[in-house]
Amino acid sequence: MAENAPLKNYQLASSYTYGPIRTRRCGMSLGLNTLPPNLKVCSFDCPYCQCGWTEPTARGRGERLKYPEVKEILGEIETRLAELSAAGERVDTMTFAGNGEPTLHPKFREIVEGAMALKKKYYPAAIVDVLSNAQTVNRENVRAGLKLLDRRILKLDGGNMRVIEAVDKPLVKFDLPEILEGLRTLGDVTIQSMFVAGSTDNTGDEDVADWIKCLDVVKPVAVQVYTLDRFPADKGLKRVPKAKLEAIAERARKAGHSAEVF
Protein backbone atom coordinates (compact mmCIF):
# COMPACT_ATOMS: atom_id res chain seq x y z
CA MET A 1 0.00 0.00 0.00
CA ALA A 2 1.34 3.42 -0.97
CA GLU A 3 0.36 5.24 2.22
CA ASN A 4 0.38 8.74 0.78
CA ALA A 5 -0.99 7.86 -2.66
CA PRO A 6 -4.36 9.44 -3.48
CA LEU A 7 -7.45 7.29 -3.29
CA LYS A 8 -8.65 5.96 -6.64
CA ASN A 9 -12.06 6.04 -8.26
CA TYR A 10 -13.85 2.81 -9.07
CA GLN A 11 -16.20 2.20 -11.98
CA LEU A 12 -18.88 -0.47 -11.74
CA ALA A 13 -18.39 -3.23 -14.30
CA SER A 14 -20.40 -2.63 -17.46
CA SER A 15 -19.96 -6.24 -18.64
CA TYR A 16 -18.99 -9.66 -17.29
CA THR A 17 -15.23 -9.21 -17.54
CA TYR A 18 -12.93 -6.26 -16.86
CA GLY A 19 -9.19 -5.73 -16.93
CA PRO A 20 -6.75 -7.34 -16.54
CA ILE A 21 -5.71 -4.85 -13.89
CA ARG A 22 -2.75 -4.87 -11.52
CA THR A 23 -4.02 -5.57 -8.01
CA ARG A 24 -2.43 -5.48 -4.58
CA ARG A 25 -3.25 -9.09 -3.81
CA CYS A 26 -3.76 -10.99 -7.06
CA GLY A 27 -1.17 -9.69 -9.54
CA MET A 28 -2.54 -9.14 -13.05
CA SER A 29 -6.15 -10.03 -12.51
CA LEU A 30 -8.99 -10.43 -14.97
CA GLY A 31 -12.15 -9.48 -13.11
CA LEU A 32 -15.21 -11.70 -13.52
CA ASN A 33 -18.65 -10.25 -12.84
CA THR A 34 -21.64 -12.53 -12.26
CA LEU A 35 -24.00 -9.63 -11.54
CA PRO A 36 -26.07 -7.28 -13.72
CA PRO A 37 -23.87 -4.69 -15.50
CA ASN A 38 -23.66 -1.21 -13.94
CA LEU A 39 -25.59 -2.23 -10.80
CA LYS A 40 -24.25 -3.06 -7.35
CA VAL A 41 -25.88 -6.13 -5.82
CA CYS A 42 -24.84 -7.09 -2.31
CA SER A 43 -26.00 -8.53 1.00
CA PHE A 44 -23.84 -5.92 2.78
CA ASP A 45 -23.90 -2.14 2.62
CA CYS A 46 -20.30 -1.51 3.72
CA PRO A 47 -19.46 2.16 4.33
CA TYR A 48 -16.00 1.49 2.88
CA CYS A 49 -17.23 -0.09 -0.35
CA GLN A 50 -15.59 1.17 -3.54
CA CYS A 51 -18.83 0.38 -5.42
CA GLY A 52 -20.79 2.93 -3.36
CA TRP A 53 -23.94 2.28 -1.38
CA THR A 54 -26.11 -0.70 -2.29
CA GLU A 55 -29.11 0.19 -4.46
CA PRO A 56 -32.46 -0.43 -2.68
CA THR A 57 -33.64 -2.75 -5.48
CA ALA A 58 -30.48 -4.85 -5.12
CA ARG A 59 -30.34 -5.12 -1.35
CA GLY A 60 -30.17 -8.41 0.50
CA ARG A 61 -29.79 -11.28 -1.90
CA GLY A 62 -31.26 -9.51 -4.91
CA GLU A 63 -34.13 -11.98 -5.17
CA ARG A 64 -36.17 -9.58 -7.28
CA LEU A 65 -33.44 -9.10 -9.87
CA LYS A 66 -33.05 -10.81 -13.20
CA TYR A 67 -29.56 -12.29 -13.18
CA PRO A 68 -27.50 -12.75 -16.35
CA GLU A 69 -27.71 -16.12 -18.07
CA VAL A 70 -24.81 -18.51 -17.41
CA LYS A 71 -24.11 -18.95 -21.13
CA GLU A 72 -23.98 -15.17 -21.57
CA ILE A 73 -21.42 -14.77 -18.78
CA LEU A 74 -19.27 -17.70 -19.89
CA GLY A 75 -19.47 -16.64 -23.53
CA GLU A 76 -17.99 -13.26 -22.71
CA ILE A 77 -15.32 -14.78 -20.47
CA GLU A 78 -14.22 -17.10 -23.29
CA THR A 79 -14.16 -14.29 -25.84
CA ARG A 80 -12.01 -12.14 -23.56
CA LEU A 81 -9.61 -14.96 -22.66
CA ALA A 82 -9.17 -15.84 -26.32
CA GLU A 83 -8.36 -12.20 -27.11
CA LEU A 84 -5.84 -11.90 -24.28
CA SER A 85 -4.18 -15.21 -25.10
CA ALA A 86 -3.84 -14.32 -28.78
CA ALA A 87 -2.26 -10.99 -27.82
CA GLY A 88 0.20 -12.63 -25.42
CA GLU A 89 -1.23 -10.73 -22.44
CA ARG A 90 -0.37 -11.87 -18.91
CA VAL A 91 -3.15 -13.13 -16.66
CA ASP A 92 -2.13 -14.25 -13.15
CA THR A 93 -5.61 -14.61 -11.73
CA MET A 94 -9.23 -14.65 -12.78
CA THR A 95 -11.14 -13.13 -9.88
CA PHE A 96 -14.87 -13.35 -9.23
CA ALA A 97 -15.68 -9.96 -7.70
CA GLY A 98 -17.47 -7.45 -9.92
CA ASN A 99 -20.45 -5.36 -8.87
CA GLY A 100 -20.88 -6.51 -5.29
CA GLU A 101 -21.22 -10.06 -3.98
CA PRO A 102 -20.50 -12.56 -6.80
CA THR A 103 -21.89 -15.61 -4.98
CA LEU A 104 -25.42 -14.17 -5.03
CA HIS A 105 -25.93 -15.41 -8.59
CA PRO A 106 -28.31 -18.39 -8.17
CA LYS A 107 -26.15 -20.48 -10.54
CA PHE A 108 -22.79 -19.54 -9.06
CA ARG A 109 -21.53 -23.14 -9.08
CA GLU A 110 -22.29 -23.60 -12.78
CA ILE A 111 -20.48 -20.36 -13.61
CA VAL A 112 -17.43 -21.47 -11.62
CA GLU A 113 -17.41 -24.84 -13.40
CA GLY A 114 -17.38 -23.10 -16.77
CA ALA A 115 -14.72 -20.60 -15.75
CA MET A 116 -12.43 -23.37 -14.49
CA ALA A 117 -12.73 -25.17 -17.82
CA LEU A 118 -11.94 -21.96 -19.72
CA LYS A 119 -8.91 -21.32 -17.51
CA LYS A 120 -7.60 -24.78 -18.33
CA LYS A 121 -8.07 -24.06 -22.04
CA TYR A 122 -6.51 -20.59 -22.23
CA TYR A 123 -4.47 -19.88 -19.08
CA PRO A 124 -3.79 -23.18 -17.26
CA ALA A 125 -1.24 -21.58 -14.92
CA ALA A 126 -3.64 -18.88 -13.74
CA ILE A 127 -5.46 -18.98 -10.41
CA VAL A 128 -9.24 -18.64 -10.33
CA ASP A 129 -10.39 -17.12 -7.07
CA VAL A 130 -13.20 -15.15 -5.48
CA LEU A 131 -13.57 -12.08 -3.30
CA SER A 132 -16.65 -12.74 -1.17
CA ASN A 133 -18.19 -11.24 1.96
CA ALA A 134 -18.74 -14.80 3.29
CA GLN A 135 -22.43 -14.19 4.10
CA THR A 136 -23.46 -17.00 1.71
CA VAL A 137 -20.78 -19.49 2.81
CA ASN A 138 -23.34 -21.95 4.20
CA ARG A 139 -25.52 -22.07 1.08
CA GLU A 140 -25.09 -25.46 -0.61
CA ASN A 141 -24.77 -24.11 -4.17
CA VAL A 142 -22.24 -21.52 -3.07
CA ARG A 143 -20.13 -23.98 -1.07
CA ALA A 144 -20.02 -26.34 -4.04
CA GLY A 145 -18.77 -23.52 -6.27
CA LEU A 146 -16.26 -22.24 -3.74
CA LYS A 147 -14.70 -25.69 -3.37
CA LEU A 148 -14.01 -25.83 -7.12
CA LEU A 149 -11.91 -22.66 -7.06
CA ASP A 150 -8.14 -22.51 -6.75
CA ARG A 151 -8.41 -19.97 -3.92
CA ARG A 152 -11.19 -18.66 -1.72
CA ILE A 153 -10.72 -15.12 -0.33
CA LEU A 154 -13.49 -14.39 2.16
CA LYS A 155 -14.04 -11.36 4.33
CA LEU A 156 -13.96 -11.02 8.08
CA ASP A 157 -13.77 -7.38 9.09
CA GLY A 158 -14.57 -7.85 12.77
CA GLY A 159 -14.74 -10.36 15.57
CA ASN A 160 -18.01 -9.21 17.16
CA MET A 161 -21.39 -8.10 15.87
CA ARG A 162 -20.94 -4.51 17.02
CA VAL A 163 -18.02 -4.10 14.62
CA ILE A 164 -19.67 -6.07 11.83
CA GLU A 165 -22.84 -3.98 12.07
CA ALA A 166 -20.77 -0.78 11.87
CA VAL A 167 -18.18 -1.78 9.25
CA ASP A 168 -20.18 -4.17 7.04
CA LYS A 169 -23.84 -3.26 7.69
CA PRO A 170 -25.35 -6.66 6.73
CA LEU A 171 -28.67 -6.34 4.93
CA VAL A 172 -29.76 -9.89 5.72
CA LYS A 173 -29.20 -12.17 8.71
CA PHE A 174 -25.54 -12.50 9.69
CA ASP A 175 -24.98 -15.09 12.40
CA LEU A 176 -21.29 -14.78 13.31
CA PRO A 177 -20.86 -18.24 14.91
CA GLU A 178 -22.56 -19.88 11.90
CA ILE A 179 -20.40 -17.94 9.45
CA LEU A 180 -17.23 -18.88 11.34
CA GLU A 181 -18.22 -22.55 11.33
CA GLY A 182 -18.92 -22.36 7.60
CA LEU A 183 -15.51 -20.85 6.96
CA ARG A 184 -13.81 -23.42 9.18
CA THR A 185 -15.43 -26.40 7.50
CA LEU A 186 -14.91 -25.02 3.99
CA GLY A 187 -11.16 -25.35 4.51
CA ASP A 188 -8.22 -23.63 2.81
CA VAL A 189 -9.72 -20.16 3.05
CA THR A 190 -7.87 -16.87 2.93
CA ILE A 191 -9.36 -14.25 5.22
CA GLN A 192 -9.36 -10.68 3.93
CA SER A 193 -9.90 -7.97 6.56
CA MET A 194 -10.50 -4.27 5.95
CA PHE A 195 -9.47 -1.88 8.72
CA VAL A 196 -10.69 1.70 8.70
CA ALA A 197 -10.62 4.81 10.88
CA GLY A 198 -12.62 8.02 11.01
CA SER A 199 -16.42 7.79 11.14
CA THR A 200 -16.08 4.06 11.88
CA ASP A 201 -13.05 2.44 13.49
CA ASN A 202 -12.36 -1.28 13.98
CA THR A 203 -8.70 -0.98 15.05
CA GLY A 204 -9.16 -0.81 18.84
CA ASP A 205 -7.28 -3.31 20.99
CA GLU A 206 -10.36 -5.22 22.12
CA ASP A 207 -11.82 -5.33 18.61
CA VAL A 208 -8.57 -6.70 17.21
CA ALA A 209 -8.44 -9.27 20.02
CA ASP A 210 -11.99 -10.44 19.13
CA TRP A 211 -11.01 -10.61 15.45
CA ILE A 212 -8.02 -12.81 16.27
CA LYS A 213 -10.24 -15.14 18.32
CA CYS A 214 -12.35 -15.60 15.18
CA LEU A 215 -9.23 -16.36 13.15
CA ASP A 216 -8.40 -19.01 15.74
CA VAL A 217 -11.75 -20.66 15.00
CA VAL A 218 -11.47 -20.48 11.20
CA LYS A 219 -7.77 -21.41 10.93
CA PRO A 220 -7.27 -19.72 7.54
CA VAL A 221 -4.31 -20.55 5.31
CA ALA A 222 -3.57 -16.81 5.04
CA VAL A 223 -4.81 -13.47 6.33
CA GLN A 224 -4.81 -10.30 4.23
CA VAL A 225 -4.84 -7.06 6.22
CA TYR A 226 -5.56 -3.88 4.28
CA THR A 227 -7.19 -0.46 4.32
CA LEU A 228 -8.75 1.97 1.85
CA ASP A 229 -7.30 2.16 -1.65
CA ARG A 230 -10.34 3.59 -3.45
CA PHE A 231 -12.89 6.21 -2.48
CA PRO A 232 -15.40 4.72 0.00
CA ALA A 233 -19.15 5.21 0.06
CA ASP A 234 -18.80 6.97 3.44
CA LYS A 235 -16.56 9.98 2.85
CA GLY A 236 -15.93 10.21 6.60
CA LEU A 237 -13.77 7.09 6.57
CA LYS A 238 -9.99 7.34 6.63
CA ARG A 239 -7.08 5.06 5.88
CA VAL A 240 -5.34 3.27 8.71
CA PRO A 241 -1.59 4.04 8.70
CA LYS A 242 0.60 1.20 7.50
CA ALA A 243 2.43 1.02 10.83
CA LYS A 244 -0.85 0.30 12.60
CA LEU A 245 -1.82 -2.30 9.99
CA GLU A 246 1.54 -3.98 10.54
CA ALA A 247 0.94 -3.99 14.29
CA ILE A 248 -2.45 -5.66 13.76
CA ALA A 249 -0.91 -8.23 11.43
CA GLU A 250 1.87 -8.90 13.93
CA ARG A 251 -0.69 -9.64 16.64
CA ALA A 252 -2.27 -12.18 14.27
CA ARG A 253 1.14 -13.70 13.55
CA LYS A 254 1.87 -14.08 17.25
CA ALA A 255 -1.39 -16.01 17.51
CA GLY A 256 -0.08 -18.39 14.85
CA HIS A 257 -1.61 -16.95 11.67
CA SER A 258 0.13 -16.14 8.40
CA ALA A 259 -0.79 -12.47 8.01
CA GLU A 260 0.35 -9.98 5.39
CA VAL A 261 -0.36 -6.28 4.94
CA PHE A 262 -1.49 -5.02 1.54
**Contact, 130 vs 146, CB < 8 A?**
yes
Q: Which uninterrupted H or E stretch holds 102?
A: none
Q: What is the pLDDT of residue 58?
A: 57
Specify the CATH number for 17-261; select among 3.30.1360.40, 1.10.150.20, 3.20.20.330, 3.20.20.70.
Answer: 3.20.20.70
Written as tens digits, the pLDDT of the chain (262 aa) is 556 678 888 888 999 999 998 877 678 999 999 999 998 999 999 999 999 998 775 555 566 788 999 999 999 999 999 999 999 999 999 999 999 999 999 999 999 999 999 999 999 999 999 999 999 999 999 999 999 999 999 999 999 999 999 999 999 899 999 999 999 999 899 999 999 999 999 999 999 999 999 999 999 999 999 999 999 999 999 999 999 999 999 999 999 999 999 9
Q: What is the pLDDT of residue 3?
A: 63
SS3 at position 155: strand
CA distances from 153 to 5, 22, 46, 156 (A): 25, 17, 17, 10
Domain ranges in the chain?
17-261
Cis amide leading into 106 (omega within 30): no
The pLDDT of residue 22: 86
SS (H, E, C) 190-255: EEEEECCEECCCCCCHHHHHHHHHHHHHHCCCEEEEECCCECCCCCCEECCCHHHHHHHHHHHHHC
